[in-house]
Amino acid sequence: MNPIDELARLFAEEGTRDYFGEPVSQAAHMLQAAALAVRDGAPEPLVAAALLHDIGHFHGLVRGADLMRGTDNRHGDTGADWLARWFDDAVCEPVRLHVDAKRYLCAVEPEYYDRLSDASRYTLSVQGGPMTEAEAAAFADGPYADDAVRLRRWDEAAKEPGAGVPPFEWYRPLLERRLLRDGE
């Protein structure tokens, strides 16, 4: 199956599930994150990352060996590893790092924690809590840290019930342009 068709199917079928205590479905949440990335003029790989950032939560994705590591607090890795078959690091690495970006922001911006939703505070606690100073410095040094932080801010903002945003298909041409071709 064409990977973009498979993504469209995941959004249509699994994406309607609740998003862990938030007032929007998983699909609505990811579509809102992507719309915020477009609004802010993000480059295409980062728009794709915003659109796909919680794909690791989709149940159809987690099978076989993936299941062993597919616990909620690893969904950045699960999603990024799955996406890496079709997309390059500019798409996959912000997805991988968006969980750590929350731990980073809570360490460097004390007011950031205060703005987190209850569900997001809970998952922060199972994801390891705020980074230490040394962890935050190491994180900020990484090549995709800035992208991951931008993605994280859209992630936190993308929880508005009933927000009118473009559907998955609006992003198909962009995703087609980001697909790795054989030999790349």
Instruction: CB nearer to Fe ion: give 54 or 147.
Output: 54
At 168, the amino acid letter reads F
Instruction: CB nearer to Fe ion: give 8 or 27.
Output: 27
Structure tokens at 173: 């041409």
Shortest distance in whole angstroms from residue 82 CB to Fe ion = 16
Structure tokens at 160: 């508005």
- Under rule CB under 5 A, residue 54 binds Fe ion: yes
Shortest distance in whole angstroms from residue 124 CB to Fe ion = 13
Shortest distance in whole angstroms from residue 21 CB to Fe ion = 12
Distances (CA, A) of 23 to 26, 37, 117, 159, 166: 10, 20, 11, 7, 18
Alpha carbon distance 90, 140 (integer Å): 16
Terminal-residue alpha carbon distance, the chain: 20
In this chain, which residue has its C-beta nearest to Fe ion? 155
The maximal CA–CA distance of the chain, rounded, in angstroms, is 47
**Which one of 52-60, 89-97, 130-138, 167-175 is the stretch in contact with Fe ion (CB under 5 A)?**
52-60
Shortest distance in whole angstroms from residue 182 CB to Fe ion = 31
Instruction: CB nearer to Fe ion: give 120 or 178.
Output: 120
- Which stretch of DSSP H or E encloses residue 144? none
- Under rule CB under 5 A, residue 81 binds Fe ion: no
Shortest distance in whole angstroms from residue 29 CB to Fe ion = 6
- Under rule CB under 5 A, residue 147 binds Fe ion: no
Closest CA to 47 of 181, 177, 182: 177
**Which one of 49-57, 62-70, 116-124, 171-179 is the stretch in contact with Fe ion (CB under 5 A)?**
49-57
- Of positions 55, 76, 155, 159, contacts Fe ion by CB under 5 A: 155
Distances (CA, A) of 131 to 105, 106, 110, 157, 160: 8, 7, 12, 21, 28
Shortest distance in whole angstroms from residue 26 CB to Fe ion = 8
Site residues, Fe ion (CB under 5 A): 54, 155
